[in-house]
Amino acid sequence: MINPFRSEAEAYRFLLVTVGYFAAIAIAALAIDKWAGLAVFGALTLAGLVYVARGRRSEPPRQQVPSRQGKENERRILVIANETVGGGPLREEIRRRSEGYDEQVFVVSPALNSPLRHWASDEDNARAQAQKRLNASLTRLREVGIDAKGEVGDAEPLQAMEDALRLFGADEIIISTHPEGRSHWLERGIVEAARERFAVPITHVVVDLEAEQEQVR
């Protein structure tokens, strides 16, 4: 489950604002009439939306990597991929970037789901399919000498990265997507958003699964 708050203090402030929000509406409705309550509801809701939108636009990049003391020759690579997690270009990029290092590779596969199933909290099938793809990818990486570990992450890729970075102090992130025109992540600007949000180098790898399957045939 996603925790939208970064600290207990932020959660407490949200609670106070929520209580004040409903109290103001109730007072206006009881002291004047229901139309006054409706007007207060509209004004406060609009003000809240404007505040959230401005806060997101002005939010500076945040360092999500915990401080750590790693080995001098150690390289920690966080990989984010779902349907392309087993693609050849991604495996080659991981191998190339870890060559010559004592590598630590952690692969996160977000459990992609339909909006309807997501809001209904029906994520079991999405997580099961993501786990199958992840297991196959980890097996292929180990076959080329990369002892990678991994887990199924949150359906929202940015949240999946943030969750992983809290536990895995990565030196860099590799994001794998389908080609432009077939990638929902590229349409949503996930790569650019990640570069703004996380203070670590980010490499974008394009995996064309259709082309790979055609080559196999």
Residue pLDDT, tens place only, 21-65: 677 777 877 778 777 777 877 787 777 666 655 655 545 445 444
Q: Are residues 181 and 104 in the same domain?
A: yes
**Domain coverage including residue 103:** 74-216
Statement to judge: residues 50 and 151 lie in one domain: no
pLDDT tens per residue, range 88-126: 888 888 888 888 888 889 999 988 764 444 444 456 788
The C-alpha angle 80, 81, 82, rounded to 5 degrees, equals 140
Q: Are residues 88 and 176 in the same domain?
A: yes
User: Higher confidence at residue 134 or residue 115?
Assistant: 134
Whole-prediction pTM: 0.65
Residues 111 and 157 reside in one and the same domain = yes
CATH of residue 170's domain is: 3.40.50.620
- Asked, for residue 20, whether it belongs to a domain, the answer is yes
> How far is the C-alpha of 149 from the C-alpha of 107, rounded, in Å?
6
- Whether residues 184 and 81 share a domain: the answer is yes
Residue 78 neighbours by CB distance under 10 Å:
26
**Residue 65 in domain:** no
Show the tokens assigned to 77. 């690579």
Asked whether residue 96 falls in the same domain as residue 37, the answer is no
- Calculate the average pLDDT of the chain: 77
48 lies in the same domain as 119: no
Helices then strands (H, E): number in the chain? 9, 5
Q: How far apart are CA 4 and CA 147, in angstroms?
A: 33
The domain tally of the chain equals 2
Share of the chain above pLDDT 70, in %: 71
Residues 51 and 122 in one domain: no
